[in-house]
Structure 1
Amino acid sequence: MNKSKFIKMLLLGIIAFIPFFMPCPEGLSLVAWRLLGVYFATIVGLILKPYNESIMLFISLSMSAIFITLTPNQVVQAKAVLEGYSDTSVWLVFSAFSLSIAFVHTGLGKRIAYLLIDKLGSTTLRMGYVNVFLELFLAPATPSNTARAGGIVTPIMNSVSVALGSDPVESPKKAGRYLMLNVYMITKTTSYLFLTAMAPNAMAISLMGPILGLDMDYATWFLLASVPGLICLFLTPLILYFIIKPELKKVNNKEIARKGLQELGPIKNSEKILLVIFFLALICWVFGGMLPYKLSAWIVAISAMTSLLVVSVIDWEIFVKNKGAWATLMWYGGIIGLAKVLEKANFFQWLASSLESMLKGVDFGGPYLALAFILICTCLIRYVFASGSAYVVAMVPVFAIVGKFIGAPVELLFIGILFSNAYGGMLTHYTGGPGPIVFACGYNDIPSWWKAGFILVVCSLVVHLTIGVLWWKFLISNALLFGH
């Protein structure tokens, strides 16, 4: 352990042990108080990153188990820290990774991109919409937007920028700055269009569900996200086009597509099989909940993963080597486990009661303004979070509880926070996994990125707080959502 890691781990240890030297707040169990120290240390650890997320969560789980064991009058058992790994949302995300691995491994993702470039990409603006349609195709099966934008879309758009004569140093404004920034902003929008488009989506449901008493399946998620999400998605390339103003207007898309497809060669049987499995999974995700015997999304995901392995579209060795899938399983299951033991120790119930007492009588101008206040806060606070996962773990439960007790409509609050998890990350180049990858290509500077990100976040907020709210209220009152 080097000096930097030692100092960070020492700080995290101090945070974790603070509750041992402070009196337990009235109404809170001793075990919940001590576990809270571990939870805060975990959040800080995800930000400081002395070790990667998986190792940090293993440390937190072991410390939580020890703290529970050493605490008298236990209200929760130590083995409860492992219950996160039995959460179905964890396995939904983990299994869906197999589809994203297959899109990269078979080359199908690139093939679809070049076909779209051939048909649509005759101008720089239309090339921006190539990105839109490619993401719409890939997002339902790619729970890592880092893999989607960083592994498939960024290399293609980077090569397109070079082919158009746009150099990161000498001529970034020619086309590259627009095309590369569009990659990030589009993936942050598609990330909330589908439940499986971003790993923290399911995690946010797991963290907020017990607090607000709500849940959401795949079809309901897409139905709620569809109207505001698609509006924002199709506006994004156009708004960026006027903000960035690329110097090159026309694109020789036919030549770019020809070279790309020539490099890939004829379509392979593995690509055809992947297409069939992907569409079957998508159909089952959307309509599985409507069957007499409901087909849960996690069952569909595991079945799709099994099918890909059995027919050798991907083999086990390739799947094992995918660090993103296994890292997500490890840290995601760990953080859900920590949240579950806090829930069993009645921490969230105590926090809700405490906030209710503190906020009693505070007037935020009505339910709608209370909702707007919370959603604006969910976006602005992203300036201080360099990790999307740390933001979700630290702030989503807090915003859910605070929003509930300042009078925001619970269903709209639940939906609004879930979706702002993604588009709030547009603000800076460090608030989402794909950001550093796109930024490293060298076409964008910080001022242009932050300006464009702020404008797009404001536009997204306006759409969600107007058209989005109207759409959600319509669905809730007429489509029997959330038990209405």
Structure 2
Amino acid sequence: MLASIGLGLAVRFLVPIPPEISLQAWTLLSIFVSTIAGLVLEPLPVGAWAFLGVTTAVATKTLTFAQAFTAFTNDVIWLIVVSFFFAKGFEKTGLGQRVATIFVKFFGKSTLGLAYGLSAAEAVIAPAMPSTTARAGGIFMPIIASLSQQADSKPNTPSRRKLGAFLVMNQLQGSTCSSALFLTAAAQNLLCMKLAAELGVVVPSAWTTWFKASGGVALAGAAAASLPALTGLLLTPLIMYKLFPPSVKDTPEAPKCLNFVILLQLAQEQLTRMGPMSTNERIMLATMGAAVCLWVAGDMLGISAVVTAMLGLCALLSTGVLTWRDCIGHPAAWDTLFWFAVLVGMSGQLASFGIISHFAGAVGERLVAANLSWPVVFGLLNAAYFALHYMFASQTAHVGALYAAFLGMMQVAGVPAVLGALSLGFMSNLFGSITHFGSGQAAVYYGAGYLELKEVFSYGALMAVVNLLIFGVVGGAWWKVLGLY
């Protein structure tokens, strides 16, 4: 606790305040730094520490009460909350167990096979379901929870490392590449293209250009994101399997319940015992099917992702599949609502006070003054844009605050326009897993209770380096072949 508070005090009183920054803005930065430090060091549970941070901001008059709690109306946050209730519905009806058993039957020859099966499923669903948060909370976390329960791997207990922690970490890290693979796989991708167009960087045929390079020498149908993103999807399960391994593996020496040959037989027997789907299971399946359809067609119909989720929850409540007591008795949902909203609110106010744009501008000025070649500027700006996400609690907010500024700096430095626009768009997905508050899906996966905070930060940093290398080396070579530069 002393270390967390001391770091914030050091920023406030020992670091010189730039003349362009107000005392109020700098004080908020120091509170934010202290809050983030406490989330990493955990002197208190996440929600409690976030409460201390927001109370400090209000008590010192750094923020008004309305400013401090403005993010509680954020639609992404409520989408996360409702997704927890969907997961409860999967568990309560038994549909989650049925789906998990089917996954075990077809992919369960090994734990690694399960990880690849889940990653492949998300990559297939991603272009038609443009919300990584909805995919995490509405589909994959319920399935992972059911698979983990079958292996006696329970959240917030030592048994979480049997299976659940590995599958959750793999899905969290792999989801960034799934989102980067298609233009319509995440809302921030569409925002990136819109902001690029406003700067005069028009990406012709945006969907296909994201999925193929533009330019006269481009290979028709060749995806700009495909090779680096697919490389990331292929390597992530292997890396997690080696560095963050489950204790449940396909080894003959494993106990009977953990032997995957026997597990396949048990899966078939379990499906037989479960028999036909119950009425509640059918309602749950129909509700999720309708939600997915609305998530796909929502833009055309004018129905947002959060409204779709709310309609789904209303259907479950009105049919009795879920009760209101089920909802209010779900502490993980309400805890996530609080701490995530606090962090989103703080980061949003930092952006509005000009803190983040100041740092971005300072970076740009130094790069221009250094008279570096455009490839060097390209790499440094992408890395800086990525690293600044530690100050954000929303991918979309990050894009809105910094994307145009960084793309403008790239244009001044002579970076090919379409290459700069696409690369920053890819980065806007890849940094979604570096913290537990950096994206909606990260909040969902962390909130499930299978991961410890230090694991999220440490393996998030590790995979950040891996993904930057993949997109820098593999992506760089691929984009050269495609004629992007």
Residues 100 and 142, structure 1, Cα contact 8 Å, conserved in 2:
no
Q: Does 1:332 align with 2:319?
A: no
Q: What does 1:415-430 correspond to in 2, within 5 Å?
A: 415-422=425-432
Would the aligned equivalents of 2:284 and 2:321 in 1 still touch at CA under 8 Å? Answer: yes
The match for 1:164 is: none
Q: Describe the SS at the equivalent of 1:360.
A: helix
Partner in structure 2 of residue 151 of structure 1: 145
Residue 142 in structure 1 maps to residue 101 in structure 2? no
Shift of 1:289: 0.8
Contact 2:7 2:34 in 1 (8 A): yes
Which of 21, 33, 36 is residue 26 of structure 2 equivalent to? 33
Amino acid aligned to 2:174 = T
1:255 match: 265
Equivalent residue, structure 1, for 2:9: 14
Note the C-alpha offset of 1:204: 12
Write the distance in 2 (CA, Å) between the matches of 1:341 and 1:451: 29
Name the CA shift for 1:290/1:67 in 2 (closer, same or farther; >3 Å): same
Query: 2:183 is matched with which residue?
Result: none
Query: Which of 300, 305, 322 is 2:308 aligned to?
Result: 300
Unaligned runs of 5+ in 1: 70-75, 160-167, 196-200, 383-388, 440-447, 474-484
Distance 2:468 2:141 in 1: 23
Task: Tell me the secondary structure at the aligned position of residue 321 of structure 2.
Answer: coil
Cα pair 2:166 2:241 within 8 Å, conserved = no
Which residue matches 2:42? Answer: 49
Match of 2:221 in 1: none
TM-score, normalised by the number of residues in structure 2: 0.64
Give the Cα separation in 1 of the matches to 2:432 and 2:355: 27
Equivalent position to 1:276, from 278, 286, 295: 286
Between the aligned partners of 1:61 and 1:77, the Cα distance in structure 2 is 10
Aligned counterparts of 1:124 and 1:54: Cα–Cα separation in 2: 32
Q: Does 1:190 align with 2:163?
A: no
Matches of 2:461 and 2:55, distance apart in 1: 39
CA distance in 1, matches of 2:289, 2:481: 31
Matched AA of 2:340: Y
Residue deviations 1:239-282 (CA, integer Å, cap 9, x gap): 88999997679935641312433565542222211111112111
Q: Is the 8 A contact 1:416 1:464 kept in 2?
A: no
CA distance in 2: counterparts of 1:9 and 1:241, whole angstroms: 32
Which of 347, 362, 371 is 2:355 aligned to? 347
Q: 1:24 to 1:182 in 2, by over 3 A?
A: closer
Aligned residue identity for 1:96 = S
Which amino acid in structure 1 is aligned with residue 324 of structure 2?
W
* Paired residue secondary structure (1:143): helix
* Whole-angstrom CA distance in 2 between matches of 1:277 and 1:262: 24
Q: Deviations over 1:136-173 (max 9, x none)?
A: 679744339995586333344678xxxxxxxx9xxx9x
Q: What is the CA–CA distance in structure 1 between the aligned matches of 2:77 and 2:460, rounded to whole Å?
A: 33
Return the TM-score normalized by structure 1: 0.64
Mapping of 1:42-81 within 5 angstroms? Answer: 42-68=35-61, 79-81=66-68
Q: 1:290 aligned to 2:283?
A: no
Task: Please tell me the residue identity of whatever aligns with 1:419.
Answer: N
Partner of 1:72: none
The 5 A counterparts of 1:449-464 are 458-459=469-470
CA-based RMSD of the aligned residues comes to 5.5
Matches within 5 A, 1:94-173: 94-121=81-108, 126-132=113-119, 140-143=134-137, 147-148=141-142, 151-156=145-150
Change (3 A) 1:259 1:330: same
- The residue number in structure 2 matching 1:91 is 78
Residue aligned with 2:99, SS: helix
What is the percent sequence identity of the aligned residues? 21
Quote the Cα distance in structure 2 between the aligned partners of 1:123 and 1:85: 42
Q: Within the alignment, does 1:233 sit opposite 2:226 as a pair?
A: no
2: distance between equivalents of 1:330 and 1:229? 33
Given that 2:430 and 2:464 are in contact with CA atoms closer than 8 Å, whether structure 1 keeps it comes out as no
What are the equivalent positions in structure 2 for 1:176-187 lying under 5 Å apart?
181=166, 184-187=169-172
Question: Relative to 1, partners in 2 of residues 1:158 and 1:419: Cα closer, same or farther, differing over 3 Å?
Answer: farther
CA separation of 1:41 and 1:84: change in aligned 2, threshold 3 A: same
Q: CA deviation at 1:288?
A: 1.0
User: 1 CA distance for matches of 2:108 and 2:101?
Assistant: 9
Contact kept? 1:423, 1:460, Cα under 8 Å: no
Q: How much does 1:350 deviate?
A: 3.0
Structure 1 residues 437 and 65, CA gap change in structure 2 (3 angstroms): closer
In structure 2, give the amino acid aligned to 1:321: G
Give the corresponding residue for 2:203.
none
How far did residue 226 of structure 1 move?
8.5
Shift in Å, 1:56: 2.3
How much has 1:375 moved relative to structure 2? 5.6
Pairs within 5 Å for 1:324-403:
324-362=332-370, 365-366=373-374, 370-373=377-380, 392-393=392-393, 400=402
Structure 2 unaligned regions, length at least 5: 127-131, 154-158, 181-185, 200-205, 212-223, 253-258, 436-441, 453-458
Report if the CA contact (8 A) 1:376-1:461 is conserved. Answer: no
For 1:156-202, what per-residue CA distance to the aligned partner results, in whole angstroms no more than 9, with x for missing partners? Answer: 4678xxxxxxxx9xxx9xxx89x98566424421355359xxxxx88
Q: Is the 8 A contact 2:82 2:310 kept in 1?
A: yes
Contact 1:125–1:238, Cα closer than 8 Å, also in 2 = yes
Q: Secondary structure at the match of 2:21?
A: coil
CA distance, structure 1, for counterparts of residue 174 and residue 264 of structure 2: 28
Distance 1:253 1:272, change over 3 A: same
| Equivalent position of 2:255 in the other structure | none
Contact in 1 for aligned 2:78/2:337 (Cα 8 Å): yes
